[in-house]
Structure 1
Amino acid sequence: MEDIMRLKPIEAAQQFIFKHFPNCQGTLLAGSVVRGEATDTSDLDIVVFDKDLISPYRESFIDFGWAIEVFVHNLTSYKHFFESDCEVARPSLPRMGSEGIILKDDGIIEPIKKEAKEILDQGPKKWSDETIKTKRYFITDALDDLIGCKYRAEEIFIANTLAELVSEFYLRSNLQWIGTSKWMVRSLKQYDRKFANHFVEAFDVLYRTGDKNKVVQLVDKVLEPYGGQLFDGFSLGKNQPQ
Protein backbone atom coordinates (compact mmCIF):
# COMPACT_ATOMS: atom_id res chain seq x y z
CA MET A 1 0.00 0.00 0.00
CA GLU A 2 1.56 3.26 -1.11
CA ASP A 3 1.05 6.36 1.03
CA ILE A 4 0.00 8.37 -2.03
CA MET A 5 -3.12 6.18 -2.28
CA ARG A 6 -3.94 6.27 1.42
CA LEU A 7 -6.85 8.42 2.54
CA LYS A 8 -6.96 9.98 5.99
CA PRO A 9 -8.17 7.46 8.59
CA ILE A 10 -11.64 8.88 9.21
CA GLU A 11 -12.29 9.50 5.53
CA ALA A 12 -11.17 5.98 4.62
CA ALA A 13 -13.29 4.47 7.39
CA GLN A 14 -16.38 6.43 6.36
CA GLN A 15 -16.02 5.40 2.72
CA PHE A 16 -15.43 1.81 3.77
CA ILE A 17 -18.65 1.76 5.80
CA PHE A 18 -20.62 3.36 2.96
CA LYS A 19 -19.28 0.71 0.59
CA HIS A 20 -19.55 -2.43 2.74
CA PHE A 21 -22.12 -1.71 5.47
CA PRO A 22 -24.46 1.01 4.16
CA ASN A 23 -27.45 -0.27 6.15
CA CYS A 24 -25.78 -0.76 9.52
CA GLN A 25 -27.09 1.03 12.63
CA GLY A 26 -23.78 2.35 13.88
CA THR A 27 -20.01 2.21 13.51
CA LEU A 28 -16.92 3.21 15.48
CA LEU A 29 -13.34 3.80 14.38
CA ALA A 30 -10.95 2.64 17.10
CA GLY A 31 -7.35 1.53 17.54
CA SER A 32 -4.00 3.25 17.23
CA VAL A 33 -5.12 5.88 14.72
CA VAL A 34 -7.63 7.16 17.27
CA ARG A 35 -5.11 7.20 20.11
CA GLY A 36 -2.50 9.03 18.04
CA GLU A 37 -0.17 6.00 18.15
CA ALA A 38 -0.35 4.94 14.51
CA THR A 39 2.73 3.60 12.74
CA ASP A 40 3.45 2.85 9.09
CA THR A 41 1.94 -0.62 9.53
CA SER A 42 -1.11 0.36 11.59
CA ASP A 43 -4.52 -0.73 10.35
CA LEU A 44 -8.01 0.67 10.86
CA ASP A 45 -10.08 -1.07 13.55
CA ILE A 46 -13.77 -0.58 12.81
CA VAL A 47 -16.63 -1.86 14.95
CA VAL A 48 -19.95 -2.28 13.14
CA PHE A 49 -23.39 -2.77 14.71
CA ASP A 50 -26.05 -4.31 12.50
CA LYS A 51 -29.43 -5.40 13.90
CA ASP A 52 -29.96 -7.86 11.04
CA LEU A 53 -26.74 -9.76 11.75
CA ILE A 54 -27.31 -13.37 12.80
CA SER A 55 -23.90 -14.04 14.36
CA PRO A 56 -20.87 -11.82 15.02
CA TYR A 57 -17.72 -12.09 12.95
CA ARG A 58 -14.37 -10.49 12.25
CA GLU A 59 -13.04 -9.84 8.76
CA SER A 60 -9.94 -8.28 7.20
CA PHE A 61 -9.79 -6.06 4.12
CA ILE A 62 -7.37 -3.91 2.17
CA ASP A 63 -9.31 -0.94 0.90
CA PHE A 64 -8.90 2.81 0.40
CA GLY A 65 -5.16 2.45 0.97
CA TRP A 66 -5.52 0.79 4.39
CA ALA A 67 -5.47 -2.62 5.99
CA ILE A 68 -8.83 -2.74 7.76
CA GLU A 69 -10.00 -5.03 10.57
CA VAL A 70 -13.76 -5.00 10.98
CA PHE A 71 -15.61 -6.40 14.03
CA VAL A 72 -19.28 -6.89 13.22
CA HIS A 73 -21.92 -7.31 15.93
CA ASN A 74 -25.63 -7.12 16.50
CA LEU A 75 -27.08 -5.44 19.57
CA THR A 76 -26.85 -8.64 21.61
CA SER A 77 -23.58 -10.23 20.55
CA TYR A 78 -21.37 -7.34 21.63
CA LYS A 79 -22.56 -7.82 25.22
CA HIS A 80 -21.28 -11.40 25.19
CA PHE A 81 -17.89 -10.21 23.92
CA PHE A 82 -17.79 -7.49 26.58
CA GLU A 83 -18.36 -10.20 29.17
CA SER A 84 -15.86 -12.70 27.76
CA ASP A 85 -13.18 -10.00 27.45
CA CYS A 86 -13.73 -9.10 31.10
CA GLU A 87 -13.44 -12.73 32.18
CA VAL A 88 -9.85 -12.85 30.88
CA ALA A 89 -9.18 -9.23 31.95
CA ARG A 90 -8.26 -8.16 28.42
CA PRO A 91 -10.97 -5.64 27.46
CA SER A 92 -10.35 -5.41 23.72
CA LEU A 93 -13.91 -4.72 22.61
CA PRO A 94 -14.85 -2.51 25.60
CA ARG A 95 -11.72 -0.45 24.90
CA MET A 96 -12.69 -0.04 21.24
CA GLY A 97 -16.21 0.88 22.27
CA SER A 98 -15.06 3.45 24.78
CA GLU A 99 -12.34 5.14 22.73
CA GLY A 100 -13.89 4.81 19.31
CA ILE A 101 -14.82 7.77 17.12
CA ILE A 102 -18.43 7.61 15.95
CA LEU A 103 -18.70 7.26 12.18
CA LYS A 104 -22.41 6.50 12.00
CA ASP A 105 -25.13 6.37 14.63
CA ASP A 106 -28.83 5.64 14.34
CA GLY A 107 -29.24 6.30 18.06
CA ILE A 108 -27.52 3.21 19.49
CA ILE A 109 -23.87 4.16 19.91
CA GLU A 110 -23.90 6.45 22.95
CA PRO A 111 -25.42 3.80 25.29
CA ILE A 112 -22.84 1.28 24.07
CA LYS A 113 -19.99 3.73 24.65
CA LYS A 114 -21.32 4.47 28.14
CA GLU A 115 -21.54 0.74 28.91
CA ALA A 116 -17.97 0.19 27.69
CA LYS A 117 -16.60 3.06 29.77
CA GLU A 118 -18.34 1.80 32.91
CA ILE A 119 -16.79 -1.64 32.37
CA LEU A 120 -13.31 -0.18 31.94
CA ASP A 121 -13.69 2.08 34.98
CA GLN A 122 -14.85 -0.83 37.12
CA GLY A 123 -11.78 -2.91 36.37
CA PRO A 124 -11.43 -6.72 36.37
CA LYS A 125 -12.60 -9.06 39.10
CA LYS A 126 -10.35 -9.34 42.12
CA TRP A 127 -8.17 -12.44 42.24
CA SER A 128 -8.88 -14.89 45.03
CA ASP A 129 -6.18 -15.73 47.58
CA GLU A 130 -5.92 -19.17 46.00
CA THR A 131 -5.34 -17.70 42.54
CA ILE A 132 -2.63 -15.40 43.88
CA LYS A 133 -0.98 -18.38 45.55
CA THR A 134 -1.07 -20.40 42.32
CA LYS A 135 0.33 -17.51 40.27
CA ARG A 136 3.15 -17.03 42.81
CA TYR A 137 4.09 -20.67 42.35
CA PHE A 138 4.23 -20.52 38.55
CA ILE A 139 6.27 -17.31 38.64
CA THR A 140 8.68 -18.91 41.11
CA ASP A 141 8.95 -22.00 38.93
CA ALA A 142 9.71 -19.92 35.82
CA LEU A 143 12.24 -17.81 37.70
CA ASP A 144 14.02 -20.92 38.96
CA ASP A 145 14.16 -22.24 35.40
CA LEU A 146 15.63 -18.93 34.25
CA ILE A 147 18.24 -18.77 37.00
CA GLY A 148 19.39 -22.33 36.39
CA CYS A 149 19.30 -22.23 32.60
CA LYS A 150 22.66 -22.63 30.86
CA TYR A 151 21.46 -22.49 27.26
CA ARG A 152 20.88 -19.10 25.69
CA ALA A 153 18.20 -20.33 23.26
CA GLU A 154 16.10 -21.77 26.10
CA GLU A 155 16.77 -18.77 28.33
CA ILE A 156 15.17 -16.37 25.84
CA PHE A 157 11.86 -18.19 25.83
CA ILE A 158 11.80 -18.80 29.57
CA ALA A 159 12.23 -15.04 29.96
CA ASN A 160 9.29 -14.47 27.61
CA THR A 161 7.06 -16.65 29.76
CA LEU A 162 8.27 -15.00 32.95
CA ALA A 163 7.65 -11.50 31.58
CA GLU A 164 4.03 -12.38 30.78
CA LEU A 165 3.48 -13.96 34.19
CA VAL A 166 5.00 -11.04 36.11
CA SER A 167 3.16 -8.34 34.18
CA GLU A 168 -0.11 -10.23 34.64
CA PHE A 169 0.49 -10.67 38.37
CA TYR A 170 1.43 -7.03 38.96
CA LEU A 171 -1.60 -5.71 37.11
CA ARG A 172 -4.21 -8.18 38.33
CA SER A 173 -3.10 -7.99 41.95
CA ASN A 174 -3.64 -4.24 41.66
CA LEU A 175 -7.09 -4.65 40.06
CA GLN A 176 -5.92 -3.51 36.62
CA TRP A 177 -6.65 -4.76 33.11
CA ILE A 178 -3.94 -6.75 31.37
CA GLY A 179 -2.81 -7.13 27.77
CA THR A 180 -0.74 -9.29 25.47
CA SER A 181 1.99 -8.43 22.98
CA LYS A 182 2.34 -4.63 22.76
CA TRP A 183 -0.58 -4.21 25.15
CA MET A 184 1.41 -5.89 27.91
CA VAL A 185 3.72 -2.89 28.17
CA ARG A 186 0.97 -0.40 27.36
CA SER A 187 -1.14 -1.73 30.23
CA LEU A 188 1.78 -1.44 32.63
CA LYS A 189 2.49 2.13 31.50
CA GLN A 190 -1.14 3.16 31.86
CA TYR A 191 -1.16 2.01 35.47
CA ASP A 192 2.38 2.68 36.70
CA ARG A 193 4.87 4.22 34.29
CA LYS A 194 7.77 4.03 36.76
CA PHE A 195 7.27 0.31 37.30
CA ALA A 196 6.84 -0.21 33.56
CA ASN A 197 10.22 1.41 32.94
CA HIS A 198 11.88 -0.85 35.54
CA PHE A 199 10.14 -3.86 34.00
CA VAL A 200 11.35 -3.06 30.47
CA GLU A 201 14.86 -2.25 31.67
CA ALA A 202 15.20 -5.53 33.59
CA PHE A 203 14.22 -7.69 30.64
CA ASP A 204 16.11 -5.53 28.15
CA VAL A 205 19.32 -6.07 30.14
CA LEU A 206 18.64 -9.80 30.27
CA TYR A 207 18.04 -10.07 26.53
CA ARG A 208 21.05 -7.93 25.62
CA THR A 209 23.64 -9.14 28.11
CA GLY A 210 22.33 -12.30 29.76
CA ASP A 211 22.47 -10.63 33.20
CA LYS A 212 19.53 -12.00 35.22
CA ASN A 213 19.97 -9.96 38.41
CA LYS A 214 17.54 -7.16 37.54
CA VAL A 215 14.84 -9.64 36.61
CA VAL A 216 15.33 -11.55 39.87
CA GLN A 217 15.07 -8.29 41.82
CA LEU A 218 11.97 -7.29 39.89
CA VAL A 219 10.23 -10.58 40.59
CA ASP A 220 11.07 -10.42 44.29
CA LYS A 221 9.70 -6.87 44.47
CA VAL A 222 6.44 -7.87 42.80
CA LEU A 223 5.88 -10.97 44.93
CA GLU A 224 7.08 -9.59 48.28
CA PRO A 225 3.74 -8.01 49.35
CA TYR A 226 2.03 -11.38 48.83
CA GLY A 227 4.51 -13.61 50.65
CA GLY A 228 7.34 -13.77 48.14
CA GLN A 229 8.39 -16.74 46.05
CA LEU A 230 6.47 -19.96 46.63
CA PHE A 231 7.52 -23.56 46.08
CA ASP A 232 7.74 -25.61 49.26
CA GLY A 233 4.32 -26.85 50.34
CA PHE A 234 2.43 -25.73 47.26
CA SER A 235 -0.11 -28.21 45.91
CA LEU A 236 -2.64 -28.07 43.11
CA GLY A 237 -5.65 -30.39 42.83
CA LYS A 238 -4.87 -32.37 45.98
CA ASN A 239 -7.92 -33.56 47.89
CA GLN A 240 -8.13 -31.95 51.29
CA PRO A 241 -8.92 -34.11 54.33
CA GLN A 242 -12.57 -33.99 55.45
Structure 2
Amino acid sequence: MNSTAERIAREVLADRYPEALAAVLAGSSAIGGDTTTSDVDLMLLLPGHAAHRDTLRRRERVVEVFAHTEESFRTFVERETAARRSPTLHMWATGRLLLDRDGVGTELQVEASARFAAGPPPLAKRETDNIRYRITDLLDDLAGTPTPGEAVFVAARLLTETAELALAHHGRWLGTGKWLWRRLRSAEPALAQELVVAFQDVANQGPDRLLAAVHTVLSRVGGPLREGYRR
Protein backbone atom coordinates (compact mmCIF):
# COMPACT_ATOMS: atom_id res chain seq x y z
CA MET A 1 0.00 0.00 0.00
CA ASN A 2 1.40 3.39 -1.00
CA SER A 3 -1.20 6.00 -0.10
CA THR A 4 -0.86 9.74 -0.48
CA ALA A 5 -0.29 9.96 3.28
CA GLU A 6 2.51 7.41 3.08
CA ARG A 7 4.17 9.23 0.19
CA ILE A 8 4.00 12.48 2.15
CA ALA A 9 5.44 10.80 5.24
CA ARG A 10 8.32 9.30 3.25
CA GLU A 11 9.09 12.68 1.65
CA VAL A 12 9.20 14.42 5.03
CA LEU A 13 11.32 11.62 6.45
CA ALA A 14 13.87 11.86 3.62
CA ASP A 15 13.98 15.66 3.47
CA ARG A 16 14.02 16.56 7.16
CA TYR A 17 15.00 13.51 9.19
CA PRO A 18 17.62 11.49 7.26
CA GLU A 19 19.23 10.47 10.56
CA ALA A 20 16.09 8.69 11.81
CA LEU A 21 16.52 5.18 13.18
CA ALA A 22 12.86 4.21 12.83
CA ALA A 23 9.67 5.76 11.48
CA VAL A 24 6.01 4.80 11.74
CA LEU A 25 3.05 6.22 9.85
CA ALA A 26 0.33 6.38 12.51
CA GLY A 27 -3.26 7.43 13.08
CA SER A 28 -6.06 7.11 10.56
CA SER A 29 -3.55 7.19 7.69
CA ALA A 30 -2.25 3.83 8.90
CA ILE A 31 -5.38 2.11 10.21
CA GLY A 32 -7.90 3.46 7.70
CA GLY A 33 -10.57 6.13 7.69
CA ASP A 34 -8.38 9.09 6.78
CA THR A 35 -9.67 11.85 4.52
CA THR A 36 -8.05 14.65 2.55
CA THR A 37 -8.22 16.83 5.68
CA SER A 38 -6.74 14.23 8.06
CA ASP A 39 -3.38 14.93 9.62
CA VAL A 40 -0.47 12.74 8.59
CA ASP A 41 0.97 11.43 11.87
CA LEU A 42 4.62 10.42 11.74
CA MET A 43 6.34 8.79 14.73
CA LEU A 44 10.14 8.94 14.71
CA LEU A 45 12.98 7.46 16.69
CA LEU A 46 16.00 9.76 16.48
CA PRO A 47 19.52 9.33 17.86
CA GLY A 48 20.51 11.75 20.59
CA HIS A 49 17.70 14.28 20.13
CA ALA A 50 15.40 15.71 22.77
CA ALA A 51 11.78 14.62 22.38
CA HIS A 52 9.84 17.15 20.34
CA ARG A 53 6.83 17.63 18.11
CA ASP A 54 6.91 19.39 14.74
CA THR A 55 3.88 20.57 12.77
CA LEU A 56 4.49 20.91 9.04
CA ARG A 57 2.54 21.21 5.82
CA ARG A 58 3.28 19.10 2.77
CA ARG A 59 1.09 18.83 -0.35
CA GLU A 60 -1.69 20.73 1.43
CA ARG A 61 -1.75 18.17 4.25
CA VAL A 62 -0.81 18.92 7.85
CA VAL A 63 1.97 16.62 9.05
CA GLU A 64 2.40 16.04 12.78
CA VAL A 65 5.83 14.66 13.66
CA PHE A 66 6.35 13.05 17.08
CA ALA A 67 10.07 12.52 17.62
CA HIS A 68 11.61 10.46 20.42
CA THR A 69 14.74 8.74 21.55
CA GLU A 70 14.37 5.29 23.06
CA GLU A 71 14.71 6.87 26.50
CA SER A 72 12.12 9.58 25.91
CA PHE A 73 9.74 7.04 24.34
CA ARG A 74 9.69 5.06 27.57
CA THR A 75 9.46 8.19 29.72
CA PHE A 76 6.41 9.37 27.78
CA VAL A 77 4.82 5.94 27.89
CA GLU A 78 5.21 5.64 31.66
CA ARG A 79 3.67 9.06 32.21
CA GLU A 80 0.81 8.43 29.79
CA THR A 81 0.12 4.97 31.20
CA ALA A 82 -0.28 6.41 34.69
CA ALA A 83 -2.94 8.73 33.23
CA ARG A 84 -4.59 5.77 31.39
CA ARG A 85 -4.22 7.62 28.11
CA SER A 86 -1.28 6.67 25.89
CA PRO A 87 -1.39 7.99 22.34
CA THR A 88 2.31 7.13 22.06
CA LEU A 89 1.70 3.42 22.67
CA HIS A 90 -1.35 3.38 20.42
CA MET A 91 0.37 5.07 17.48
CA TRP A 92 3.44 2.86 17.67
CA ALA A 93 1.37 -0.30 18.18
CA THR A 94 -1.05 0.30 15.30
CA GLY A 95 1.16 2.26 12.91
CA ARG A 96 2.80 1.20 9.66
CA LEU A 97 6.57 0.80 9.88
CA LEU A 98 8.27 2.89 7.16
CA LEU A 99 11.87 2.74 8.35
CA ASP A 100 13.66 0.27 10.60
CA ARG A 101 17.41 0.49 11.01
CA ASP A 102 18.93 -2.44 12.90
CA GLY A 103 15.51 -3.73 13.94
CA VAL A 104 14.92 -1.08 16.62
CA GLY A 105 11.59 -0.04 15.07
CA THR A 106 10.29 -3.60 15.15
CA GLU A 107 11.38 -3.96 18.77
CA LEU A 108 9.50 -0.81 19.77
CA GLN A 109 6.39 -1.91 17.89
CA VAL A 110 6.40 -5.28 19.62
CA GLU A 111 6.85 -3.61 23.01
CA ALA A 112 4.15 -1.02 22.30
CA SER A 113 1.70 -3.66 21.07
CA ALA A 114 2.17 -5.77 24.20
CA ARG A 115 1.83 -2.84 26.57
CA PHE A 116 -1.19 -1.41 24.78
CA ALA A 117 -2.91 -4.80 24.74
CA ALA A 118 -2.28 -5.16 28.49
CA GLY A 119 -4.36 -2.05 29.12
CA PRO A 120 -4.01 0.73 31.68
CA PRO A 121 -3.67 0.28 35.45
CA PRO A 122 -6.90 -0.20 37.43
CA LEU A 123 -8.53 2.66 39.27
CA ALA A 124 -7.53 2.95 42.91
CA LYS A 125 -10.29 3.61 45.45
CA ARG A 126 -9.14 7.18 46.02
CA GLU A 127 -9.22 7.89 42.29
CA THR A 128 -12.67 6.33 42.02
CA ASP A 129 -13.95 8.48 44.87
CA ASN A 130 -12.53 11.62 43.25
CA ILE A 131 -14.35 10.80 40.01
CA ARG A 132 -17.59 9.94 41.84
CA TYR A 133 -17.48 13.27 43.64
CA ARG A 134 -16.82 15.27 40.46
CA ILE A 135 -19.64 13.54 38.60
CA THR A 136 -22.03 13.96 41.53
CA ASP A 137 -21.26 17.68 41.62
CA LEU A 138 -21.92 17.94 37.87
CA LEU A 139 -25.18 16.00 38.24
CA ASP A 140 -26.37 18.47 40.87
CA ASP A 141 -25.36 21.38 38.64
CA LEU A 142 -27.17 19.95 35.64
CA ALA A 143 -30.34 19.13 37.57
CA GLY A 144 -30.49 22.68 38.92
CA THR A 145 -29.33 24.60 35.85
CA PRO A 146 -31.98 27.15 34.84
CA THR A 147 -30.98 27.91 31.23
CA PRO A 148 -30.41 25.69 28.18
CA GLY A 149 -27.06 27.35 27.49
CA GLU A 150 -25.68 26.57 30.93
CA ALA A 151 -27.10 23.07 30.76
CA VAL A 152 -25.28 22.29 27.50
CA PHE A 153 -21.90 23.30 28.89
CA VAL A 154 -22.38 21.38 32.13
CA ALA A 155 -23.62 18.39 30.13
CA ALA A 156 -20.54 18.47 27.89
CA ARG A 157 -18.27 18.12 30.91
CA LEU A 158 -20.50 15.43 32.38
CA LEU A 159 -20.49 13.49 29.11
CA THR A 160 -16.69 13.31 29.09
CA GLU A 161 -16.35 12.44 32.78
CA THR A 162 -18.95 9.67 32.48
CA ALA A 163 -17.40 8.17 29.36
CA GLU A 164 -13.99 8.14 31.05
CA LEU A 165 -15.40 6.48 34.16
CA ALA A 166 -17.06 3.77 32.07
CA LEU A 167 -13.83 3.07 30.20
CA ALA A 168 -11.74 3.00 33.38
CA HIS A 169 -14.26 0.63 34.96
CA HIS A 170 -13.85 -1.69 31.96
CA GLY A 171 -10.05 -1.47 32.19
CA ARG A 172 -9.84 0.31 28.84
CA TRP A 173 -7.62 3.14 27.65
CA LEU A 174 -9.03 6.65 27.72
CA GLY A 175 -8.99 9.00 24.75
CA THR A 176 -9.76 12.56 23.78
CA GLY A 177 -12.17 13.89 21.17
CA LYS A 178 -13.12 11.27 18.60
CA TRP A 179 -10.95 8.67 20.31
CA LEU A 180 -13.00 8.88 23.49
CA TRP A 181 -16.10 8.08 21.43
CA ARG A 182 -14.38 5.29 19.51
CA ARG A 183 -13.10 3.58 22.63
CA LEU A 184 -16.39 3.81 24.48
CA ARG A 185 -18.24 2.53 21.42
CA SER A 186 -15.83 -0.42 21.28
CA ALA A 187 -16.15 -1.19 25.00
CA GLU A 188 -19.88 -0.60 25.42
CA PRO A 189 -21.77 0.32 22.23
CA ALA A 190 -25.21 0.72 23.80
CA LEU A 191 -23.94 3.08 26.48
CA ALA A 192 -21.99 5.13 23.95
CA GLN A 193 -25.09 5.61 21.83
CA GLU A 194 -27.31 6.39 24.82
CA LEU A 195 -24.93 9.05 26.13
CA VAL A 196 -24.77 10.76 22.74
CA VAL A 197 -28.55 10.78 22.27
CA ALA A 198 -29.12 11.91 25.86
CA PHE A 199 -26.59 14.73 25.45
CA GLN A 200 -28.28 15.87 22.25
CA ASP A 201 -31.60 16.01 24.12
CA VAL A 202 -30.32 18.38 26.81
CA ALA A 203 -30.84 21.70 25.01
CA ASN A 204 -34.36 21.01 23.73
CA GLN A 205 -35.82 18.19 25.82
CA GLY A 206 -34.08 18.80 29.13
CA PRO A 207 -31.45 16.83 31.08
CA ASP A 208 -33.53 13.95 32.43
CA ARG A 209 -32.32 11.32 29.98
CA LEU A 210 -28.66 12.25 30.49
CA LEU A 211 -29.09 12.32 34.26
CA ALA A 212 -30.49 8.79 34.15
CA ALA A 213 -27.69 7.49 31.92
CA VAL A 214 -25.01 8.97 34.15
CA HIS A 215 -26.61 7.54 37.30
CA THR A 216 -26.52 4.10 35.65
CA VAL A 217 -22.76 4.35 35.14
CA LEU A 218 -22.16 5.86 38.56
CA SER A 219 -24.03 3.01 40.25
CA ARG A 220 -21.33 0.59 39.05
CA VAL A 221 -18.74 2.19 41.34
CA GLY A 222 -20.81 2.96 44.41
CA GLY A 223 -23.18 5.68 43.23
CA PRO A 224 -23.12 9.43 43.95
CA LEU A 225 -20.67 10.72 46.54
CA ARG A 226 -21.27 13.89 48.55
CA GLU A 227 -21.04 13.92 52.33
CA GLY A 228 -18.17 11.93 53.75
CA TYR A 229 -15.87 12.70 50.83
CA ARG A 230 -12.41 13.83 51.88
CA ARG A 231 -9.73 15.04 49.48
Normalising by the smaller structure, the TM-score range is over 0.9
Tell me the distance in 2 between the aligned counterparts of 1:162 and 1:42.
28
Superposition CA RMSD, Å: 1.4
Normalised by the length of structure 1, the TM-score is: 0.90
Find the counterpart in structure 1 of residue 41 from structure 2. 45
Tell me the distance in 1 between the aligned counterparts of 2:191 and 2:151.
23
Tell me the distance in 2 between the aligned counterparts of 1:8 and 1:39.
10
Count residues in correspondence.
Answer: 228
Equivalent in 74, 77, 86 of residue 72 of structure 2: 77
Equivalent in 214, 223, 228 of residue 218 of structure 2: 223
Contact 1:16/1:64 (CA < 8 Å) preserved in 2? no
Spell out the pairing of 1:45-194 with structure 2 (5 A cutoff): 45-53=41-49, 55-106=50-101, 107-194=103-190
Q: Secondary structure at the match of 2:20?
A: coil
**Per-residue deviation, 1:39:** 2.8
- Structure label with greater radius of gyration: 1
Contact 1:97/1:113 (CA < 8 Å) preserved in 2? yes
User: Does the alignment pair 1:36 with 2:32?
Assistant: yes
Q: Secondary structure at the match of 1:104?
A: strand
**Per-residue deviation, 1:76:** 1.2
**Per-residue deviation, 1:31:** 0.8
Spell out the pairing of 1:186-205 with structure 2 (5 A cutoff): 186-205=182-201
Contact 1:26/1:48 (CA < 8 Å) preserved in 2? yes
Find the counterpart in structure 1 of residue 8 from structure 2. 12
Find the counterpart in structure 2 of residue 4 from structure 1. none
**Per-residue deviation, 1:64:** 3.0
Q: Secondary structure at the match of 1:168?
A: helix
User: What stretches of structure 1 of length at least 5 have no aligned partner?
Assistant: 1-6, 237-242
**Residue type of the alignment partner of 1:35:** I
Tell me the distance in 2 between the aligned counterparts of 1:21 and 1:64.
18
Tell me the distance in 2 between the aligned counterparts of 1:23 and 1:233.
57
**Residue type of the alignment partner of 1:78:** F
Identity %: 28
**Per-residue deviation, 1:212:** 1.0
Contact 1:52/1:74 (CA < 8 Å) preserved in 2? yes
**Per-residue deviation, 1:80:** 0.7
Q: Secondary structure at the match of 1:76?
A: helix
Runs of 4 or more, structure 1, over 6 Å off, are: none
Listed one character per residue, the Cα deviations across residues 15-45 of structure 1 (whole Å, up to 9, x for unaligned) are 1111111121110000111121213321100
Tell me the distance in 2 between the aligned counterparts of 1:25 and 1:131.
39
Contact 2:174/2:183 (CA < 8 Å) preserved in 1? yes
Normalised by the length of structure 2, the TM-score is: 0.94
Listed one character per residue, the Cα deviations across residues 191-218 of structure 1 (whole Å, up to 9, x for unaligned) are 12222111211112224x2421111111
Tell me the distance in 2 between the aligned counterparts of 1:95 and 1:204.
30
Contact 2:51/2:72 (CA < 8 Å) preserved in 1? yes
Q: Secondary structure at the match of 1:230?
A: coil
Tell me the distance in 2 between the aligned counterparts of 1:230 and 1:67.
44
Listed one character per residue, the Cα deviations across residues 98-121 of structure 1 (whole Å, up to 9, x for unaligned) are 011011110211110111111111
**Per-residue deviation, 1:13:** 1.0
Find the counterpart in structure 2 of residue 239 from structure 1. none
